[in-house]
Amino acid sequence: MTTKKLMTASVVALMAATPVMADLVFPSLSYRTGPFAAGGIAFADGYADYFTLLNERDGGIGGVMASVPECETAYNAEKGVECYEATKAEGALVYQPLATSITYQLIPKVEVDGIPLHTMGYGRTSAKNGEVFRHTFNYPVNYWDGASAGVNHFLDLNDGSLEGRKITLLHFNGAYGKEPIPTLEALSEKHGFELSTIAIDYPGQEQKSQWLQIRRERPDYILFWGWGVMNQVAVQEAANIGYPMENFMGIWWSGSENDVLPAGAAADGYKALAFHEMGSDFPVFDDIQTYVVDAGKAAGAGDQIGSVLYNRGLYAAFLAAEAAADAQEATGEPEITAAMMRDAMESLEITAQDMEDAGIPGFGPVFSVTCQNHGGDGLASVAQWDATAQEWSLISDFFPSDGEVVNALIKADSEAFAAENDITPSCD
Amino acid sequence: MSADFLYGIEVIINGLMAGVLYALVALGFVLIFKASGIFNYAQGVMALFAALTLVGVMEGQVPFSHVINAVFGTEIHHFGWEVPALLAIFVTLLVMILFAWLVQQLVFRHLVGQEPIILFMATIGLAYFLEGVGDLMWGSEIKTLALGLPQGGSLVVEDWTAGLGGDDFYGFFIDKLDMVATLVAIVLVAGLIGFAQYTKQGRAMRAVADDHQAALSVGISLNFIWVLVWSLAGLVALVAGVMWGAKSGVQFSLSLIALKALPVLMLGGFTSIPGAIVGGLIIGVGEKLFEYMIGPMVGGATENWFAYVLALLFLVFRPQGLFGEKIIERV
């Protein structure tokens, strides 16, 4: 063997023996194509750009670079599962499935694979019960919190009484749209308002019947659970029948710029629930501009920054990065595993100081997570669209949902799930 | 008159107008199927592509700017001018004619004589390809169609009819955009029928539709006629895209309007322009009335499936559709 070959063999052996610092992997199950792409692109950009910022500005998380392998789901459950299966072997730390349908498919899988699932403001509401859903988290807020927050806002507008008022839930005719019905029924009994539900079939491009019914029934308030083109058409149809926009409120998935811009000035005053701040008036966006966009490393064209769904993606990335950093701190291991990530998510505490340090002061609610409570404290806010300024802004602080009603429903639903699936609720 | 009765009439009027919008989509299918026997799965995507192109041209957007910027590291998005609506419509029509020519030259010319299922599969491929090209060319964001089309209920009609019922009746709601769509559809159908009846190319088109081999034998260029038919389908797609896009903004869901045309085609027949119109009206009124009368008892959202039930009911009695050609095969 020649000296050259010996040296080469030594170098190879040395490389094999030296531990390589692996990336922290945060797969992004994005949807940049298909009918829902307009919403998916902004979220995916925000999610990726925040991790790119941490890499470029801070050298990653705890000295380890973050990687965000993206897989296109087209908002389709089958493709979502394929993406999960294709990326989980890369050392995935947490999944954001970004669709309730994909969430339902992944809940049993993550239990087997031991990878945490974070469904922020969507998915299965009763997954808040961490004793049953050990690997699924839905902090800081869920659909039932949303329904209750909407009613709480209407209560505020009516001096605390909705007795004799009519509230209509206009909703997507599927699992997502039907999620708030049990909560609203319970709240209807508690507060004495009349609840009616009106369903819209996918995709919702034609809603004449629904809006003629609303025009006949004249509800005092409308809560709206829509997604995709359903949102734009609903806002336009509400304007068409002259429904007062300030009494029409969407869930957070029905409250982006995409949903109101096509209706123009007629959308002015439309409200939506929110669980994070709007706009780009936060220090983090200056850093993103400098370290990500100007450096040519933005996930997209850099034109989504500050939009509602970009901010949501950024917020999801912030929460994931905080949990990863907590896991590193708790274990003393810079290269964490999915199990360590799960444990950190289960003891996550987001304080005002955490947000301040990340350059997003007051961006979202302050909350904490425990084994019994994977959903945070259920704090939501109300945003309103200003068509003249073409911007959303929060018109309330983050306020709590009706825990008495919501938690009882979560307990009942999660225990039923546990019984059906032979799960013994436990924190061990 | 009772409020319920008047609201029933309101539902019928709105159903008729929704039917017109369905018929606008169905017309494109009929034109191509009648002339070439191809069930054009891409018709909904053509409506999307036409509307995307119209908005892009109006706003002076640089086509494929994302691709150009990604490849060359540039930052160009707009030409810096805006194009008046009428000129933009004209340019969009030229693009749709170019598209028709390309489809004929690159796809269907090579598939002459193939089984209908092969041609259908080709249109599926075409649909996905065109959707991707539209995305690359104009981007995925939702675009506002600023053609100045009127929106909202007609206050004149509402005020004028408010006294017909009691306090529970608020007057008829009729969407101004639907009224415009109805007028446009009438003009479009009259134009298409006039073109088919009174022009040389129109007669040639009908001849090809009747028997393309006979038409070929008398010197009619099949290639030209098929380009013409795809161009007309492109025109219909543009009109449908504009009317639907005015409601929801121009976005990729627009391609799904094809779903609304299928029961109309089943009912009206695949080969009849009047069939598409009448079918659209029947489906529009039928589904809206069913939703109004039965919907609340069964949880609502009945329109999507009831349209197909209605179409299937008609098919039991007339398998070729209301206006379709009866196929008789003698042994």
Q: Are residues A80 and A131 in the same domain?
A: yes
In the block, tokens 């809940």 appear at: A107
Task: Give the chain A residue whose CA is nearest to the CA of B133.
Answer: A33
Structural domain includes residue A17: no
Q: Are residues A167 and A260 in the same domain?
A: yes
**Gap between the Cα atoms of A165 and A290, Å rounded:** 51
**Gap between the Cα atoms of A40 and A35, Å rounded:** 10
Name the residue among B18, B135, B253 with its Cβ closest to that of A229.
B253
Determine the distance in angstroms separating the CA of B154 from the nearest CA of chain A, rounded to an integer: 9
Structural domain includes residue A222: yes
pLDDT band at A5 (very low <50, low <70, confident <90, very high): low
pLDDT one-digit tens code per residue, A46-102: 999 999 999 999 999 999 999 999 999 999 999 999 999 999 999 999 999 999 889
pLDDT at A399 over 50: yes
The SS3 assignment for A274 reads strand
pLDDT band at A375 (very low <50, low <70, confident <90, very high): very high
Most confident of A20-24, A205-209, A314-318: A314-318
pLDDT at B110 over 80: yes
Out of A82-91, A124-133, B143-152, B275-284, least confident range: B143-152
pLDDT at site A7 = 58
pLDDT at site A268 = 97
Q: Are residues A316 and A244 in the same domain?
A: no
**Buried/exposed B183-194: b ≥16 CB within 10 Å, e otherwise:** ebbeebbeebee
pLDDT one-digit tens code per residue, A299-341: 987 888 999 999 999 999 999 999 999 999 999 999 999 999 9
Is B2 an interface residue toward A (CB < 8 Å)?
no
pLDDT at site A18 = 43
Please indicate whether, in this complex, the C-beta atoms of A236 and B73 are within 8 angstroms of each other. no
pLDDT at A17 over 50: no
Name the residue among B142, B252, B256 with its Cβ closest to that of A262.
B142
Please indicate whether, in this complex, the C-beta atoms of A296 and B18 are within 8 angstroms of each other. no
pLDDT at A41 over 80: yes
Residue of A169, A181, A216, A297 to mutate when probing chain B, most B C-beta within 10 A: A216
Domain boundaries, chain B: 3-317
State the Cα torsion B59-B60-B61-B63 to the nearest 10°.
130
pLDDT at B100 over 80: yes
pLDDT one-digit tens code per residue, A345-362: 999 999 999 999 999 999
Structural domain includes residue A233: yes
pLDDT one-digit tens code per residue, A260-272: 999 999 999 999 9
Q: Are residues A35 and A126 in the same domain?
A: yes
Please indicate whether, in this complex, the C-beta atoms of A205 and B135 are within 8 angstroms of each other. no
Q: Are residues A154 and A267 in the same domain?
A: yes
Please indicate whether, in this complex, the C-beta atoms of A229 and B260 are within 8 angstroms of each other. no
Q: Are residues A301 and A231 in the same domain?
A: no
The SS3 assignment for B276 reads helix
The SS3 assignment for A129 reads coil
Structural domain includes residue A197: yes
The answer to whether B308 touches B260, Cβ cutoff 8 Å, is no
Residue of B14, B72, B129, B142 to mutate when probing chain A, most A C-beta within 10 A: B142
pLDDT at B95 over 90: yes
Structural domain includes residue A11: no
Q: Which secondary structure element, helix H or strand E, spans residue B51, and what is its range?
A: helix B43-58
Structural domain includes residue A4: no
**Gap between the Cα atoms of B280 and B261, Å rounded:** 8
Mean pLDDT of chain A: 93
pLDDT at B327 over 80: no
CA B295 remoteness from chain centre: 27
Q: How many domains does chain A have?
A: 2
Residue of B248, B250, B255, B306 to mutate when probing chain A, most A C-beta within 10 A: B248
pLDDT at site B37 = 86
pLDDT band at A16 (very low <50, low <70, confident <90, very high): very low
**Cβ-count burial of A183 within 10 angstroms (0-12 exposed, 13-18 middle, 19+ buried)?**
buried
pLDDT at B107 over 90: yes
Q: Are residues A79 and A192 in the same domain?
A: no
Looking up residue A84, the CATH number of its domain turns out to be 3.40.50.2300
CA B32 remoteness from chain centre: 12
The pLDDT of A133-139, averaged and rounded, is 97
Please indicate whether, in this complex, the C-beta atoms of B295 and A209 are within 8 angstroms of each other. yes
Residue of A240, A256, A258, A289 to mutate when probing chain B, most B C-beta within 10 A: A240
**Bond preceding residue A203 cis, omega within 30 of 0:** yes
pLDDT at site A66 = 97
Name the residue among B253, B288, B291 with its Cβ closest to that of A203.
B253
pLDDT one-digit tens code per residue, A296-305: 899 987 888 9
pLDDT at site B317 = 87
Please indicate whether, in this complex, the C-beta atoms of B144 and A242 are within 8 angstroms of each other. no
pLDDT at site B3 = 87
Rg of chain B taking only CA atoms, in angstroms: 21
Q: Are residues A251 and A371 in the same domain?
A: no
Nearest to B60 by CA among B76, B75, B73: B76
Name the residue among B66, B153, B303 with its Cβ closest to that of A242.
B153
Per-residue tokens: B81: 């001018």
pLDDT at site A303 = 82
Q: Are residues A226 and A347 in the same domain?
A: no
**Gap between the Cα atoms of B176 and B156, Å rounded:** 11
pLDDT at site A15 = 47
CA distances from A387 to A222, A224, A257, A263 (A): 20, 19, 10, 9
pLDDT at site A3 = 54
A232 contacts on B by Cβ (under 8 Å): 142, 247-249, 251
**Cβ-count burial of B211 within 10 angstroms (0-12 exposed, 13-18 middle, 19+ buried)?**
exposed
Please indicate whether, in this complex, the C-beta atoms of B141 and A262 are within 8 angstroms of each other. no
The SS3 assignment for A179 reads coil
**Bond preceding residue B150 cis, omega within 30 of 0:** no
pLDDT band at A384 (very low <50, low <70, confident <90, very high): very high
pLDDT at site B322 = 82
The answer to whether A122 touches A128, Cβ cutoff 8 Å, is no
Please indicate whether, in this complex, the C-beta atoms of A35 and B255 are within 8 angstroms of each other. yes
Is B181 an interface residue toward A (CB < 8 Å)?
no
B244 contacts on A by Cβ (under 8 Å): 205
The answer to whether B295 touches B214, Cβ cutoff 8 Å, is no
Please indicate whether, in this complex, the C-beta atoms of B144 and A216 are within 8 angstroms of each other. no
The interface predicted TM-score of the complex, written ipTM, equals 0.90
The answer to whether B36 touches B231, Cβ cutoff 8 Å, is no
B153 contacts on A by Cβ (under 8 Å): 240-242
Q: Partners of A385 in the beta sheet?
A: A392
pLDDT at A13 over 80: no
**Gap between the Cα atoms of A210 and A313, Å rounded:** 32
Q: Which secondary structure element, helix H or strand E, spans residue A207, and what is its range?
A: none
Name the residue among B145, B248, B299 with its Cβ closest to that of A199.
B299
Q: Are residues A116 and A33 in the same domain?
A: yes
Residue of B25, B141, B177, B293 to mutate when probing chain A, most A C-beta within 10 A: B141
Structural domain includes residue A365: yes
Residues 246-305 in B contacting A (C-alpha not used; CB under 8 Å)? 247-249, 251-257, 259-260, 287-288, 291-292, 295, 299-301, 303-304
Domain that holds residue A270: 143-274
- Considering the four listed CATH numbers 2.40.350, 1.10.3470, 3.30.1330, 1.10.10, the one that applies to the domain covering B3-317 is 1.10.3470
pLDDT at site A19 = 42
pLDDT at B68 over 50: yes
B69 contacts on A by Cβ (under 8 Å): 301
A215 contacts on B by Cβ (under 8 Å): 170, 173
Nearest to A238 by CA among A206, A263, A204: A263
- Rounded to the nearest 5°, which phi and psi values hold at B62? -80, 120
Q: Which of A230, A249, A274 is the last residue of a domain?
A: A274
Please indicate whether, in this complex, the C-beta atoms of A296 and B251 are within 8 angstroms of each other. no
Q: Taking phi first (over 0 means left), then psi (-120 to 50 degrees means alpha), and beta for anything else, what does residue B235 get?
A: alpha
Structural domain includes residue A52: yes
pLDDT at site B213 = 86
- pTM reported for the whole predicted model: 0.90
Please indicate whether, in this complex, the C-beta atoms of B135 and A33 are within 8 angstroms of each other. yes
The answer to whether A146 touches A124, Cβ cutoff 8 Å, is no
B303 contacts on A by Cβ (under 8 Å): 201, 206, 209
Q: Are residues A109 and A157 in the same domain?
A: no
Total Cβ atoms within 10 A of residue A160: 10
Q: Are residues A268 and A322 in the same domain?
A: no
pLDDT at A11 over 60: no
pLDDT one-digit tens code per residue, A103-125: 999 999 999 999 999 999 999 99
Determine the distance in angstroms separating the CA of B221 from the nearest CA of chain A, rounded to an integer: 38
